[in-house]
Amino acid sequence: MIKHRKPTTPGRRKSSVVDYREALTKTTPEKSLLAPIRSMSGRNSRGVITVRHKGGRNKRMYRLVDFKQKRFDIEAIVQSIEYDPNRSAFIALVTYTDGIKSYILAPGKLTVGQRLLFSKQAPLIPGNRLTLEFIPVGTEIYNLELFPGKGGQIIRSAGSAGQVLAVEDTYALVKLPSGEVRKVHKTVYASIGRVSNESHMLENIGKAGRNRWRGVRPAVRGSAMNPVDHPHGGGEGRQPIGLKSPKTPWGKIALGKKTRKKNKPSNKFIISRRK
C-alpha cells in the first residue's frame, strides 16, 4: 500500500512511500545472514570512475539471499518478512526443519508461519519451488533459472512475474515480464507466484535527497555543456541536439542502438522478442 506524505515542505508535497508497517513483520535482520558491502562509487580497481552519477548513499549490509534453494524435500517455515535495502522486493527469513536458517525472495501473499517446500513436485502454493515440467500452463512464476543448477537469475524485481505457456519434449516456453517468450530447459526450477512489493513502481521519490540516499548523484544534461565537453553542447540559448541521434559524451549512439550480438548463441532460445 502506498502512503502519501503530508505537504509540509516542497520536498514532501509529492512524496510517497510504501507503507512497510502492513507488509513487514520484523525490522532487524538475521545477523548470521549479513555480509559487508564496500562502496565502490562507480569506480574500477584503479579508482577511476567508469560509471557516472554514482556515490554517497547510506551504509548498508548485504543480505545473503538464497536464489538456488537447493535444500530439497525439507519443509521450511516462514519466520518473518523483511525489508532488503539492496533490492526492490521483500525477503523472507525461513527456518528448515533441520534448524538451518535462510533468506529467500518473498512472493506476494506470503504469511508468517506458512510452510514451504522446494521439490521437483511441490504443491502449487505461492513460495514453493519446483521444476517447470510439473508446473501447469498459465501459472505465474518468479526467480527462474536459465540453466539447471545455476539458481534463479531472472524475474526477481518487485511485482514481476513470468508465465508458463507450454511444456514440450525438452523445453518449456516462458513469457517473461518484458513480453519476451523464451525457451528454457524443462528441468530448471522456478518459484510459484509473483514477487512481493507490487506497489514499488507507484512510489514517488519527491525530492533529490532520496536519490542521494540511494547513491544516485546528479546528472547534468549534455545540452547544458560546451561543445568540448559533450556532442550535444554549445549554441546560443536552448538549441536542439543537431545530430541524427542522441550521443553519449564519447560520441556513441545513446538511444535505439542495438547492443545484442547478432550471433549470440542464446538467440535460438528466444521465440519472440519483447515489444
Three cell numbers, residue 221 = 544534461
Q: How many CB atoms lie within 10 A of CB 245?
A: 10
Tell me the per-residue pLDDT of 22-69, one tens digit each, with 9 for 90 and over. 889 988 999 999 999 988 899 999 999 999 999 999 999 999 999 999
Contact 52, 229 (CB under 8 A): no
Find the distance separating the first CA and the last CA of the chain, reported in whole Å.
29
Percent of the chain at pLDDT above 90?
A: 90
d(CA 117, CA 97): 11
- Which of the four pLDDT bands, split at 50, 70 and 90, describes residue 210? very high
Architecture of domain 2-201: Beta Barrel (2.40)
Tell me the per-residue pLDDT of 131-184, one tens digit each, with 9 for 90 and over. 999 999 999 999 999 999 999 999 999 999 999 999 988 999 999 999 999 999
Domain range list for the chain: 2-201
Scan for cell 514440450, then name that residue: 168
Phi, then psi, of 81 in degrees rounded to 5: -115, 125
Average pLDDT score over residue span 239-247? 93
Nearest to 214 by CA among 90, 89, 86: 86
